């Protein structure tokens, strides 16, 4: 026990005798960036015991530090030691990822709708007009739709809830009646009924696994397309008394996925994982007013504690699980939880928190500034997640290849860090009415004491629940709200 | 505009200089050996048209008189339409000259023949005569095989229709030997096609076993977004998959087809689902399938579908185990062994751990000492393995033997036995001592205390051991674990010692865990509310 008590003193200046000369001359050229030492030094408290987890963690910090300290040669830094968002390169990268993909992308053959969503979403967040893809997307999506409802990962593949979600979001992003009308809502609705399970959750495809992605993706689809909640008699969850609908038991299912750590697992009894935290909060927020539904089903203080623990220094980005490494995509999966939670805690006129989880008995106060370090996340994204070679695109961390998936979620995370959302007061008690579903969300750029990024690096806000731009979400939902029948 | 005198059509790729000079004497044929078959053709062409090449080059008037006459005679001789317009006398004179000069009466027509290209995209016209003959030999060989192969297909078709042999009157039956011979034949045909034309044929098209299936191609629109350029073998296999799935065929060959596709793309969930349907429809031994799956899992550690497939297999197998505790225990042991093997390579693999918790629940082995021991081994290897800690919590606190159903993981459970809670608290403390800044056992500790309805303050002394002189401004403040400080803040809040709690949170934000200052500030606000 005594041996492990090792408090680390702040790092000493470089011992020149051990540095080669080339390195010294280079170092003297660095301008004095305004970078808090939080992002350039190892954490104050570290353990001596070495295990494989601590080794990979140390390696990751070593990899990230030069990027965070303004020492990467490919970058042009501002006074805060933060480079610009290289829009031009990323946009080019994303356009090309929508083109024909070489054979080495074979593993993506069952998840092409994801590629469409990731690329279109990333482009939209950077302010690109993606409506020019409408026609091609309409053709592509048609080929992936099954007569029995839903979309598969490609032509003539089994319908999957995740690929259906991705297609619906992609269609929402390109917008327009032609795109919306691709979706056969009636067969989609009856297919969703088949996926609904008696325990409240959803299978991800017929005969497939049941997990929390199923709940979130279904809720998004139902709300965006304004599908009825009634169950068909062939649904495994159908009861003769008619009390069960598509949303019944979803809250309880989500509740069973919260773990002792406070985070959310993919299925009950597994480990808390960042991606599922976003799905859980999103699903609850779509059941009704999140200011009521979230505390009803989740231990909020423990959840916030777990979410906050995902941000490490000096890397400053988020990890997906306890003792796992920082990764750019959790900028969205974890970082994207905060706008929603902060809005729930801080929006004026929040309804009384109904009796829910006992841990929420104490009134939870509004957030003084922000629950996470927005500056930290922005630094990690702009310094570590940009591929600054000719390739462009965004990535997990330095040393990893950029891809469409990380481009989408890193940029979503950047958007979350740059904006602050508020919810208008809602009076109604009934969660399922349209009034609670169509809560009025407003957004403003987040104003920090010191803004470390240049104004031109501000990206578009994305909806804290649907993860697409607000106007895209509103356009598709109001289109289907106005439509009678299927 | 009058056309300029054009050279006779020459096959591409022949150098004019290499053209053998046409000689009026057929005897010289044997002396000049053309280098290529194109040149040979040209030679034969020119040879059948005396003086024509020279005429084209320099014009009729440029030829010596006798050659002029010979050319004209030859021309008339082989152009009946022109010849019959001559007066009879002139015709007779013509034939006399032709006979004397022994002209070839038939001229070869202009050679517009395309010889095609070989597998290397080279013009076959550039082949030597010898090489060309060899190629022609192979082409003939291929044709023979094709004829035989067509015969095989016809026999099969007749077999399918129940046609009887005309001679014997017996129903036509295609024997295994015939099928095998056809398989070999198609292999030879494919080899020849590849050698001659460079075309590659898919293995399914070559296999007589698949003759009855008409593959369904992908058929995507040209402008489809993010379309993948399929490798040829994948493209073919997937087209056969679509066809057999459409007719809902469940068979051994389909099982093999799924294996082929899974090898190429294990992320293809549709093929996994279809494989499971085949296994169940054919009532194949689940253990065989599990064994096959083990091999696939070991080479595809990150794959997700494998674990759902395994889940389906266990669901299917379980009823046969349920009544037999020995069988069940044996199965649990083999699975544990395999999972240990996998987790050695990827200790935090989410899908493997999710499957493991499912398995424990399905087989009801929460209380298994081996399972707990196996988890302890992993924690001993790496005390920071949070997946192992999570699984331990599940093992201990989800055991239906002492769990109140329907409670959330973060809720106290009155059914949690005191001795188990105590044991787990001690376990967590022991591991915290190894590396106090490791968050996993701290989260575990708090989880256990809450679940076991223990006061957090029961570990106040323990947590305080990692914090010295908090708030001291003389430099004596020392924090060995920010998680201890976090827990102390909760302990003080629980004891209504708000100021002490606030100090912990303030110091976390100011110094010891600055990246989370926003969160620590919010926690201070929470103290005010309480
Ligand atoms: Zn990632």
Q: pLDDT (tens digit, 9 = 90+) per residue, A51-74?
A: 999 999 999 999 999 999 988 777
Q: Which residue from A minimizes the CA distance to B348?
A: A324
The answer to whether the Cβ–Cβ distance between A109 and B267 falls below 8 Å is: yes
Looking at the complex, report in whole angstroms how far the Cα of residue A473 sits from the nearest Cα belonging to chain B.
22
The DSSP 8-state label assigned to residue B164 in this structure reads B
Looking at the complex, report in whole angstroms how far the Cα of residue B2 sits from the nearest Cα belonging to chain A.
52
Q: Where are the domains of chain A?
A: 2-68, 87-482
Q: Which of A184, A211, A327, A431 is labelled catalytic? A: A327
Q: How many CB atoms lie within 10 A of CB A335?
A: 31
Query: What pLDDT, on the 0 to 100 scale, is given for residue A375?
Result: 97
Contacts of A349 (CB under 8 A, 6+ apart): A424, A425, A426
pLDDT over threshold 80, residue B30: no
The answer to whether the Cβ–Cβ distance between A324 and B227 falls below 8 Å is: no
Q: Which of A158-172, A316-330, B180-194, B405-419 has the lowest mean pLDDT?
A: B180-194
Q: Which of A213, A403, A405, A463 is labelled catalytic? A: A403
Query: What pLDDT, on the 0 to 100 scale, is given for residue B32?
Result: 64
Residues B420-428: contacts with CB under 8 Å, at least 24 apart: B420/B396, B420/B452, B421/B448, B421/B449, B421/B451, B421/B452, B421/B454, B424/B396, B424/B448, B424/B452, B425/B449, B425/B452, B425/B454, B425/B458, B425/B459
- Rounded CA-CA distance A253/A450 in Å is 42
Q: How is residue A217 written in tokens?
A: 């993706």
Looking at the complex, report in whole angstroms how far the Cα of residue A217 sits from the nearest Cα belonging to chain B.
18
Same domain, B89 and B138: no
Q: Would you call A139 a catalytic residue per the annotation?
A: no
Q: Is residue B41 part of a domain?
A: yes
Q: Which of A35-44, B49-58, B206-215 has the lowest mean pLDDT?
A: B49-58
Q: Which of B163, B192, B210 is at the close of a domain?
A: B210
Residues of A in contact with B439 (CB under 8 A): 309, 322-323
Q: Which residue from B minimizes the CA distance to A312?
A: B515
- Rounded CA-CA distance A308/A277 in Å is 12
Query: What pLDDT, on the 0 to 100 scale, is given for residue A427?
Result: 60
pLDDT over threshold 50, residue A132: yes
Check: CB of residue A20 under 8 Å from CB of residue A51.
no
Give the largest CA-CA distance in chain A: 81
Number of domains in chain B: 2
Q: Is residue B166 part of a domain?
A: yes
Measured in whole angstroms, the distance separating CA B43 from the mean position of its chain's CA atoms is 53
Q: Could you give the 3-state DSSP secondary structure of residue B418?
A: helix
- Rg of chain A over Cα atoms, rounded to whole angstroms, equals 23
Give the H/E segment covering residue A200. Answer: none
Check: CB of residue B52 under 8 Å from CB of residue B71.
yes
Binned at pLDDT 50, 70 and 90, residue B62 comes out as: confident
Looking at the complex, report in whole angstroms how far the Cα of residue B291 sits from the nearest Cα belonging to chain A.
21
Instruction: Point out the residue among A156, A299, A371 whose CB comes nearest to the CB of B242.
Output: A156
Task: Provide the ipTM.
Answer: 0.92
Query: What pLDDT, on the 0 to 100 scale, is given for residue A41?
Result: 94
Query: What pLDDT, on the 0 to 100 scale, is given for residue B321?
Result: 93
Please name which of A280, A299, A336 lies closest in space to residue A125, comparing C-alpha atoms. A336
Q: Report the relative pairing of strands A419-423 and A441-445 from DSSP bridges.
A: antiparallel
Place of tokens 């973060």: B410
Check: CB of residue A35 under 8 Å from CB of residue A80.
yes
Beta bridge partners, A7, equal A45
Average pLDDT estimate for B198-217 = 88
Q: Is residue B20 part of a domain?
A: no
Give the largest CA-CA distance in chain B: 139
- Rounded CA-CA distance A170/B87 in Å is 85
The domain of B57 spans: 34-101
The DSSP 8-state label assigned to residue B377 in this structure reads H
Contacts of A485 (CB under 8 A, 6+ apart): none
Instruction: Point out the residue among B234, B433, B478 whose CB comes nearest to the CB of A7.
Output: B478
Binned at pLDDT 50, 70 and 90, residue A327 comes out as: very high
Q: How many CB atoms lie within 10 A of CB A2?
A: 6
- Report the separation in Å between the CA atom of A398 and the middle of ligand 1, taken as the mean of its atom positions: 12
Q: How many residues are recorded in chain B?
A: 530
With a pLDDT cut of 90, the percent of chain A lying above it is: 80
Same domain, B132 and B202: yes
Please name which of A205, A201, A217 lies closest in space to residue A257, comparing C-alpha atoms. A201
Place of tokens 């990230």: A64
Instruction: Point out the residue among A101, A207, A209 whose CB comes nearest to the CB of B228.
Output: A101
The answer to whether the Cβ–Cβ distance between A368 and B381 falls below 8 Å is: no
Q: Which of A87, A95, A134, A324 is labelled catalytic? A: A324
A467: alpha, beta or left? (left if phi > 0; alpha if psi -120 to 50): left
- Rounded CA-CA distance A106/A199 in Å is 36
Q: Which residue from A minimizes the CA distance to B520?
A: A371
Q: State how far the alpha carbon of A19 is from the alpha carbons of A12, A14, A23, A71, in Å.
A: 14, 8, 7, 16
Ion ligand 1 contact residues with beta carbon within 5 A = A 327, 329, 396
Instruction: Point out the residue among A116, A157, A312 whose CB comes nearest to the CB of B226.
Output: A116
The answer to whether the Cβ–Cβ distance between A260 and B410 falls below 8 Å is: yes
Question: CATH assignment of A87-482?
Answer: 1.50.10.20
Q: State how far the alpha carbon of B67 is from the alpha carbons of A254, B47, B51, B62, B97, in Å.
A: 102, 14, 7, 10, 12
Binned at pLDDT 50, 70 and 90, residue A258 comes out as: very high
Q: Which of B195, B210, B225 is at the close of a domain?
A: B210
The answer to whether the Cβ–Cβ distance between A4 and B436 falls below 8 Å is: yes
Cβ-count burial B498-529 (b if 16+ within 10 Å, e if not): eebbbbbbbbbbeebbbbbbbbbbbbbebbee
Residue B90 in contact with partner chain A when CB distance is under 8 A: no
Residues of A in contact with B517 (CB under 8 A): 373
Q: Is residue B190 part of a domain?
A: yes
With a pLDDT cut of 90, the percent of chain B lying above it is: 57
Query: What pLDDT, on the 0 to 100 scale, is given for residue A75?
Result: 75
Query: What residues 352-381 of chain B have any CB closer than 8 A to a CB of chain A?
Result: 353-354, 357-358, 361, 381
- Rounded CA-CA distance A194/A207 in Å is 10
- Rounded CA-CA distance A134/A298 in Å is 39
Q: Which of A230-244, A403-417, B113-127 has the lowest mean pLDDT?
A: B113-127
Q: Would you call A327 a catalytic residue per the annotation?
A: yes
Query: What residues 161-220 of chain B have any CB closer than 8 A to a CB of chain A?
Result: 216, 218-220
pLDDT over threshold 90, residue B15: no
Query: What pLDDT, on the 0 to 100 scale, is given for residue B31?
Result: 54
pLDDT over threshold 50, residue B3: no
Query: What pLDDT, on the 0 to 100 scale, is given for residue A349?
Result: 57
Q: Is residue B45 part of a domain?
A: yes
Contacts of B410 (CB under 8 A, 6+ apart): A258, A259, A260, A262, A299, A302, A357, A359, B447, B450
CA dihedral B374, B378, B384, B389 (to 10 degrees): -10
Query: What pLDDT, on the 0 to 100 scale, is given for residue A353?
Result: 52
Q: What is the pLDDT of residues B277-302, one digit of tens each?
A: 999 999 999 999 999 999 999 988 88
Q: Is residue B40 part of a domain?
A: yes
pTM for this predicted structure? 0.84
How many Å from the N-terminal Cα to the C-terminal Cα in chain A? 67
Query: What pLDDT, on the 0 to 100 scale, is given for residue B301?
Result: 84
Looking at the complex, report in whole angstroms how far the Cα of residue A362 sits from the nearest Cα belonging to chain B.
6
Of B266, B409, B470, which to mutate for an interface test with A (greatest number of A Cβ within 10 Å)?
B409
Q: Is residue B342 part of a domain?
A: no
The answer to whether the Cβ–Cβ distance between B224 and A139 falls below 8 Å is: yes
- Report the separation in Å between the CA atom of A311 and the middle of ligand 1, taken as the mean of its atom positions: 14
Q: Which of B192, B210, B228 is at the close of a domain?
A: B210
Chains A–B, number of C-beta pairs less than 8 Å apart:
274
């Amino acid at each position: 026990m005594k041996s492990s008590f090792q408090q680390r003193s702040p790092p000493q200046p470089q011992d020149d005798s051990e540095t080669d000369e080339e390195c010294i001359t280079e170092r003297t050229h660095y301008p004095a960036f305004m970078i808090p030492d939080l992002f350039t030094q190892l954490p104050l408290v570290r353990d001596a015991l070495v295990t494989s987890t601590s080794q990979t963690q140390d390696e990751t910090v070593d990899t990230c530090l030069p990027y965070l300290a303004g020492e990467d040669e490919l970058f042009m830094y501002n006074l805060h030691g933060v480079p610009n968002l290289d829009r031009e390169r990323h946009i080019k990268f994303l356009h090309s990822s929508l083109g024909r993909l070489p054979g080495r992308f074979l593993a993506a053959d069952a998840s092409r709708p994801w590629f469409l969503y990731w690329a279109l979403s990333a482009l939209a967040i950077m302010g690109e007009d993606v409506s020019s893809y409408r026609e091609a997307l309409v053709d592509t999506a048609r080929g992936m739709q099954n007569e029995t409802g839903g979309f598969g990962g490609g032509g003539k593949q089994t319908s999957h809830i995740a690929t259906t979600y991705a297609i619906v979001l992609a269609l929402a992003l390109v917008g327009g009646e032609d795109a919306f009308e691709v979706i056969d809502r009636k067969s989609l609705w009856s297919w969703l009924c088949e996926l609904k399970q008696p325990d409240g959750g959803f299978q991800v495809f017929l005969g497939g696994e049941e997990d929390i992605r199923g709940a979130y993706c279904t809720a998004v689809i139902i709300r965006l397309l304004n599908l009825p909640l009634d169950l068909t008699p062939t649904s495994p969850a159908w009861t003769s008394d008619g009390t069960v609908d598509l949303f019944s038991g979803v809250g309880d299912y989500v509740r069973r996925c919260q773990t002792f750590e406070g985070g959310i697992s993919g299925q009950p009894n597994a480990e808390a994982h960042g991606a599922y935290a976003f799905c859980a909060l999103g699903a609850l927020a779509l059941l009704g007013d999140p200011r009521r539904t979230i505390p009803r089903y989740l231990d909020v203080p423990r959840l916030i504690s777990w979410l906050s623990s995902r941000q490490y220094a000096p890397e400053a980005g988020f990890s997906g699980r306890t003792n796992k490494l920082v990764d750019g995509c959790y900028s969205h999966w974890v970082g994207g939880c905060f706008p929603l939670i902060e809005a729930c805690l801080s929006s004026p006129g929040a309804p009384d928190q109904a009796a829910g989880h006992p841990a929420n008995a104490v009134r939870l106060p509004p957030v003084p500034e922000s629950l996470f370090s927005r500056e930290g996340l922005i630094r990690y994204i702009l310094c570590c997640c940009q591929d600054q070679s000719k390739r462009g695109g965004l990535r997990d961390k330095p040393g990893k290849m950029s891809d469409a998936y990380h481009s989408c979620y890193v940029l979503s995370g950047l958007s979350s860090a740059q904006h602050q959302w508020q919810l208008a007061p809602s009076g109604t008690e009934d969660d399922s009415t349209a009034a609670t579903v169509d809560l009025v969300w407003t957004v403003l750029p987040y104003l920090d004491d010191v803004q470390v990024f240049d104004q031109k690096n501000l990206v578009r806000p994305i909806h804290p629940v649907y993860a697409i731009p607000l106007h895209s979400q509103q356009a598709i939902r109001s289109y289907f709200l106005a439509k009678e029948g299927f | 505009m009058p056309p300029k005198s054009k050279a006779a059509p020459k096959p591409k790729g022949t150098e004019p200089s290499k053209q053998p000079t046409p000689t009026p004497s057929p005897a010289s044929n044997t002396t000049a050996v053309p280098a290529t078959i194109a040149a040979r053709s040209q030679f034969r062409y020119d040879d059948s048209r005396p003086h024509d090449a020279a005429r084209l080059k320099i014009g009729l008037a440029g030829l010596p008189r006798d050659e002029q006459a010979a050319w004209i005679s030859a021309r008339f001789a082989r152009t009946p339409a022109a010849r019959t317009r001559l007066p009879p006398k002139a015709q007779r004179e013509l034939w006399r000259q032709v006979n004397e000069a022994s002209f070839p009466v038939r001229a070869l027509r202009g050679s517009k023949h395309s010889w095609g290209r070989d597998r290397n995209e080279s013009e076959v016209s550039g082949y030597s005569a010898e090489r060309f003959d060899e190629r022609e030999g192979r082409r003939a060989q291929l044709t023979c095989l094709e004829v035989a192969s067509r015969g095989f297909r016809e026999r099969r078709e007749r077999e399918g229709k129940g046609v009887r042999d005309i001679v014997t009157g017996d129903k036509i039956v295609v024997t295994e030997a015939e099928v095998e011979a056809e398989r070999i034949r198609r292999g030879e045909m494919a080899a020849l096609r590849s050698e001659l034309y460079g075309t590659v044929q898919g293995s399914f098209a070559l296999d007589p076993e698949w003759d009855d299936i008409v593959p369904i191609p992908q058929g995507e629109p040209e402008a489809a977004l993010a379309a993948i350029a399929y490798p040829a073998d994948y493209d073919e296999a997937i087209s056969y998959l679509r066809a057999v799935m459409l007719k809902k065929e469940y068979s051994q060959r389909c099982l093999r087809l799924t294996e082929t596709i899974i090898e190429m793309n294990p992320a293809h969930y549709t093929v996994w689902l279809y494989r499971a349907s085949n296994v169940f429809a054919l009532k194949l031994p689940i253990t065989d399938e599990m064994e096959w799956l083990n091999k696939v899992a070991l080479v595809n550690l990150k794959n997700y579908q494998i674990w759902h497939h395994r889940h389906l297999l266990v669901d299917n197998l379980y009823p046969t185990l349920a009544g037999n505790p020995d069988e069940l225990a044996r199965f649990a042991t083999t699975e544990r062994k395999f999972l240990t093997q996998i987790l050695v390579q990827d200790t935090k693999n989410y899908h493997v751990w999710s499957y493991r918790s499912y398995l424990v629940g399905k087989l009801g082995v929460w209380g298994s000492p081996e399972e707990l021991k196996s988890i302890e081994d992993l924690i001993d290897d790496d005390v920071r393995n949070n997946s192992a800690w999570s699984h331990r919590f599940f093992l201990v606190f989800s055991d239906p033997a002492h769990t109140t159903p329907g409670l959330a993981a973060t809720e106290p459970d009155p059914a949690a036995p005191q001795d188990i809670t105590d044991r787990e608290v001690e376990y967590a403390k022991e591991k915290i001592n190894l590396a106090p800044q490791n968050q996993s056992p701290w989260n575990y500790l708090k989880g256990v205390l809450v679940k076991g309805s223990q006061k957090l303050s029961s570990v106040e002394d323990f947590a305080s051991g990692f914090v010295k002189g908090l708030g001291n401004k003389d430099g004596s403040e020392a924090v060995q674990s920010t998680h201890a400080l976090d827990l102390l803040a909760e302990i003080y809040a629980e004891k209504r010692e708000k100021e002490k709690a606030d100090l912990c949170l303030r110091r976390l934000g100011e110094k010891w865990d600055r990246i989370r200052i926003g969160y620590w500030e919010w926690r201070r606000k929470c103290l005010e509310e309480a």
